[in-house]
Chains A and B, each alone.
Chain A
């Protein structure tokens, strides 16, 4: 009985390893690329809505204030991303 369970466990971990391997080969790059695109979109969104925070004038911020509560957790990271120094390696690795 225990042996059967052990076999099943081994088979499961082999299956997971193969799944991870295939994911790594076929989809990992795609997911990383998509997440990077998502990050740029988030930055663009924040800029177009909350640009004033960085001294970039946008339209009257009346409606931006309505969106403010929904972006509170992102503000710190967004400011850091946009204002940090960049060098040539950022360009190479898409930062």
Chain B
């Protein structure tokens, strides 16, 4: 495994588990980066280090984190498109400027920018492990399915362009005249680059031998229902879950401890009931149970302790 993705409903501990896993692997001597795809990223909070928009930040030996500022990436991207048009034609026509502005204002644009940054990071191949803290459920499904959708799209676009080149060739052979545009070469290069990037990402997302997608659930009804839906939805896009992590589990001994107040005992009992449901519904998909901590796992030291609790002394 090289790419580990943590997905789940909001607020269940995806970021903490991503950071914990990264900390653990880094302590084992692997060069690791943890990347947040969530627009409301909280790696900064978990690591207690300002990462937002700062690029790849080294936090400890072998441990790196990346929290992109998607709005800034979109703005920079917009500027680079404008610059290219000015370099090629001397100015940006009004209707083209309007299109750049309206395209960049779409909400899916920052999602796409994050997606492209994720591709960029993986393609550079600087790390042994890549850990992705995904955005909540529905967004994550859309985000990951983007790879196969865009891959299909770009293949169609490239096919049309290739057919056009064939026609150009035919016209040139018969009449000796050029019919294709002179910028065809630049266009084909650009298309092939996009096709390579998207094809690469689509392959990585569906490669079960190198990519593991973990779904985080807590022993509560809403989270269980959400997980069932997510499994179905991911499957629709050909993405199989590698495992389910049950997080924030209260120690069951609390239920029989006479010093524990009824309020907490009731919660523990409720969780135990839901744990049975989780076992019935997800069975052998469950790969780990993570106990509820007595304080929030934040900062490198605390994350290391959490990693010890979650992964113990061994790792597969």
Contacts and interface: CB of A to CB of B under 8 A. Distances in A.
Contact of A67 (B89, B150, B163, B191): B191
Contacts of B170: 34
A38 B168 contact: yes
Contacts of B153: 48, 59
Contacts, number: 109
B96 A68 contact: yes
A62 B171 contact: no
B37 to A, nearest CB: 15
Interface in A22-54: 23, 27, 30-31, 34-35, 37-38, 41-42, 44-45, 48-50, 52-53
Interface string A58-95: 01111111111111111110010000000000000000
Nearest to B194: A63
Contact of B84 (A30, A52, A64, A69): A69
A93 B160 CA distance: 24
A53 B174 contact: no
B: contact size bracket: 35 or more
B194 A66 contact: yes
A62 B89 CA distance: 21
B312 interface: no
A71 to B, nearest CB: 8
A52 B106 CA distance: 11
A73 B89 CA distance: 9
B113 A62 contact: yes
- SS class, residues of chain B in contact with chain A: helix
A: contact size bracket: 35 or more
Contacts of A60: 106, 108-109, 111-112, 146
A53 B98 CA distance: 9
Interface of B: 77-78, 81, 84-85, 88-89, 93, 95-96, 99-100, 102-104, 106, 108-109, 111-113, 115-116, 146, 149-150, 153-154, 156-157, 160-161, 163-164, 167-168, 170-171, 174-175, 179-181, 183, 186-187, 190-191, 194, 198
Interface of A: 23, 27, 30-31, 34-35, 37-38, 41-42, 44-45, 48-50, 52-53, 59-76, 79
Given A48-B157, A65-B104, 11 more contacts: A35-B179, A48-B153, A62-B115, A67-B190, A67-B191, A70-B187, A71-B187, A73-B183, A75-B95, A76-B95, A79-B95
